[in-house]
């Protein structure tokens, strides 16, 4: 049996995907295979548990959804690679800090493979190129199992980030892979990040599935 299943899901509505994550986590048992979901969302702002309304400046026609992950407000939209990690941390003997480190280092490795020098910051979760944030993290742990995950800006319309204080930081510059690699290919980024995550999580055997 595969140690982990990677699902490539294309573009999926945010609310339905969130409900699917919660249901998967609630229904799973000790033998349930961990999964990582790769997808994109239509335009949406999500406000984490620590979120403050004043950080949503002018959402306009983009919906705002209150969610149960950690962190503040962020934006999801087409051209952003979203990865949800549904892992049994107890079974993997993996602490939350170690999981965050693994995710951040996987993003750094993926971007390095594209010729982009990036790094995490000790004062704020996520991954940065210089002072600009290229990837955001937000997790929820329930009964020793993780859900939610990361969002990597690849090839998207960045304007909606100007309508919020990203992750609660006023004026934080945001960037994306396309800024450094104009001919970026989402499939190549997805494959590179997938392989980096498997390596950092120490996964030996993974099954790759298209769709649910």
Active site residues: 167
Say if CB 138 and CB 69 are below 8 A apart: yes
Name the residue among 86, 80, 122 with its Cα closest to residue 101.
122
Angle between helix 96-113 and 186-201 (nearest 10): 140
Instruction: List the alpha helices (DSSP H) in the chain.
Output: 14-27, 89-92, 96-113, 186-201
- Residue written as tokens 């999981």? 99
Phi/psi of residue 94, nearest 5 degrees: -120, 120
What residues contact residue 17 under an 8 Å CB cut-off, 6+ apart?
Answer: 9, 37, 39, 41, 84
User: CA-CA-CA-CA torsion for 107, 113, 117, 118, nearest 10 degrees?
Assistant: 0
Helix, strand, or coil here: 185?
A: coil
Say if CB 179 and CB 137 are below 8 A apart: no
């Amino acid at each position: 049996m595969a140690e982990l299943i990677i699902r490539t899901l294309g573009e999926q509505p945010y609310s339905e995907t969130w409900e699917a994550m919660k249901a998967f986590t609630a229904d799973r048992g000790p033998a349930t295979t961990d999964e990582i979901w790769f997808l994109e969302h239509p335009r949406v702002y999500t406000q984490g548990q620590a979120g403050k309304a004043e950080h949503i400046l002018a959402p306009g026609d983009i919906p705002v959804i209150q969610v149960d992950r950690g962190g503040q407000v962020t934006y999801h939209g087409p051209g952003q690679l979203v990865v949800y990690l549904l892992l049994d941390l107890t079974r993997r003997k993996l602490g939350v800090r170690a999981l965050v480190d693994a995710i951040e280092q996987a993003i750094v490795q993926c971007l390095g493979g594209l010729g982009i020098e990036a790094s995490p910051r000790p004062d704020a979760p996520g991954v940065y190129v210089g002072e600009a944030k290229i990837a955001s993290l937000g997790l929820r742990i329930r009964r020793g199992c993780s859900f939610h995950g990361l969002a990597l800006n690849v090839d998207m319309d960045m304007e909606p980030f100007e309508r919020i204080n990203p992750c609660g930081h006023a004026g934080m510059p945001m960037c994306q892979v396309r800024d450094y690699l104009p001919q970026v290919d989402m499939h190549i980024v997805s494959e590179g990040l997938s392989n980096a995550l498997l390596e950092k999580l120490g996964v030996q055997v993974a099954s790759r599935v298209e769709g649910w």
